[in-house]
Structure 1
Amino acid sequence: MKTGAVSLSEQSVRFNDPSETARFGLIALATDLTSERDLYRQLPQENVAIHVTRVAFENPTTPENLRRMTPRLSEAAGLLAPSGPLRAICYSCTAASIVIGDDRVRAAIAEGAGDVPVVTPAGAALMAFAALGVQRISVLTPYTVETSEPLAAYFSAHGLSIARFRCLGLEDDRDMARVSNRSIIDAALEADTSDADALFLSCTGMPSVNVIAEIEQIAGKPVISSNQASAWAMARIGGFGEHRPVEFGRLFACPLAEPSLGDAA
């Protein structure tokens, strides 16, 4: 079949100013069904691009399996490097950032992506607590007891007291992504205590963002989730100080608070 002759256009090519687009990176687990959607919903909708890469992970969600991601982070981060200057990179796994360690996560990502601010859900939660003046928390996780215990130790080591800690006993993060809104609300309220300053809903896989505002209204206190804290920290680090989507909770009314992300780990 013959085709017409192909020739170059006579129009000159113009390019948009790279600074017009705020670019963020996201490293998600291969089995993560929630983080991308939540981040897109919570970051500003205009002039923002989210570049996603994934890191291999094998269920069940145990501390041992979470640690196995450590040597894979640099390669995953390296896939984000061609995206151009990034305002921040989020490693979207709360439990893994705790068992691996925030500093080791940042070092591994820097090896692949260079000098870019790194947000972990655990470190972002610490900044959220500081911004809200929270000292005593109640916690809900979808994990097993074994996987939840390092989280309790992490927060205690950073000077927070824990009023009550509940977990749902799930081993597969794909199941965590399927927990219903009603189950999250009921379990969160059961985990709450009158003397807790705030509720923390752990896990980037659990779709807690859907119900933060409703739980805050019922409990009468701030509710922080892994994906909400990460998105808030990325927005503030990325220069969006006035981005305040009220449907995602009281946290978005707050500026970034000391300690900085680097000091919080």
Structure 2
Amino acid sequence: MSDLPEIRQAAQRPALDPRPLEKRIGLVILATDHTSEPDFRRMVASERVGVYVARIPYANPTTPENLRKMQPALTAGTRLILPDEELDAICYSCTSASVVIGDAEIEAAIGAAKPGAPVVTPPAAAIRGMNALGVRRISLLTPYTVETTRPMASYFAGHGFDLASVTCLGFDDDRDMARIPHQAIVEAAKAAIAPDAEALFISCTALRAAHVAAEIEAAIGRPVVTSNQATAWNCMRLCGDETARPEWGRLMTLGLAQPQ
């Protein structure tokens, strides 16, 4: 080791930027999630916006009982995302668990780790999206079982939406939901939309529906809101990113605050 040159410390350290990236979005996802992280990387992450991910324990099957079991892990999971640093938005990326646990309870659990950061859940983001689109009568498509779809339907009805139809595909494992082919999602969506529905909501962050939202809109002639598309849109707008991204669906061309 005697041939090493002398290591000299520079006389002056470089000045630091305020942050490595201007905006920070925290993403809390299931341990089994295959879809949320890639979707946020495609739709949200940029040279200006960073997406920082934490995974929390989850065990299939996807039932209301198992979904509720995630609640105690939310605070600890959120705390692992850039500890002691502020986030500009935090998304808990599970639609069905958000419905079962409740938006307010999720906000409280995440807020205990990151006080003051805006919290986004997929169903709440979907409601904001449908309000931005100006629609009230909707069709609902989920990959879940009837048991897990029922609370989802009740959630939207409870928030004042008129459900024209509700369709589920009968899956109970989110890893299988992530394997449903794009074209199968398109065909399921075309079959699920009611003639008098103003829009279609496709639930589930595991489902690769954001990829084909624009294609479905072209096929059915009405707006499509998906879980990951809605949360990505909501988080981007909270970070001040107003870029129109029509390739991800009509919602991605709108601002967060729109007249209802």
Return the offset for 1:19.
8.3
Q: Is this contact kept in 2: 1:89–1:119, CA < 8 A?
A: yes
Return the offset for 1:45.
2.0
Structure-2 residue corresponding to 1:188 = 189
Paired residues, what number?
259
Q: Is this contact kept in 1: 2:21–2:50, CA < 8 A?
A: no
Tell me the TM-score normalized by structure 2.
0.95
Structure-2 residue corresponding to 1:140 = 141
Structure-1 residue corresponding to 2:110 = 109
Structure-1 residue corresponding to 2:245 = 245
Return the offset for 1:139.
1.0
Return the offset for 1:201.
0.6
Return the offset for 1:6.
2.8
Structure-2 residue corresponding to 1:263 = none
Structure-2 residue corresponding to 1:31 = 32
SS in structure 2 opposite 1:224? strand
Q: Is this contact kept in 1: 2:24–2:87, CA < 8 A?
A: yes
- Aligned letter for 1:159? G
80-89 vs 1-10, greater mean Cα deviation: 1-10
Return the offset for 1:11.
4.8
- Aligned letter for 1:109? I
Q: Report whether the alignment pairs 1:22 with 2:23.
A: yes
Deviations 1:71-98 (A, max 9, x none): 1100001112427221100000000000
1:71–1:44 distance in 2 versus 1, CA, 3 Å:
closer
SS in structure 1 opposite 2:179? coil
SS in structure 1 opposite 2:50? strand
Aligned-residue sequence identity (percent) comes to 48
Return the offset for 1:46.
2.3
2:21, 2:147 → 1: CA distance? 45
SS in structure 1 opposite 2:219? helix
- Aligned letter for 2:200? L
Q: Which runs of 5+ in 1 are unaligned?
A: 260-265
Return the offset for 1:196.
0.3
SS in structure 1 opposite 2:9? coil
Structure-1 residue corresponding to 2:129 = 128
2:189, 2:3 → 1: CA distance? 64
Q: Which runs of 5+ in 2 are unaligned?
A: none
Q: Report whether the alignment pairs 1:257 with 2:223.
A: no
1:141, 1:26 → 2: CA distance? 22
Tell me the TM-score normalized by structure 1.
0.93
Q: Is this contact kept in 1: 2:86–2:114, CA < 8 A?
A: no
For 1:20-99, what aligned pairs fall within 5 Å after superposition?
A: 21-43=22-44, 45-82=46-83, 84-99=85-100
Q: Is this contact kept in 2: 1:88–1:117, CA < 8 A?
A: yes
Return the offset for 1:22.
0.8
Q: Which has the higher helix share?
A: 1
SS in structure 1 opposite 2:113? helix
1:136–1:85 distance in 2 versus 1, CA, 3 Å:
same
Q: Is this contact kept in 2: 1:224–1:251, CA < 8 A?
A: yes
Structure-1 residue corresponding to 2:223 = 222
Structure-2 residue corresponding to 1:159 = 160
- Aligned letter for 2:114? A
Return the offset for 1:2.
4.5
Pairwise CA RMSD of aligned residues? 1.7
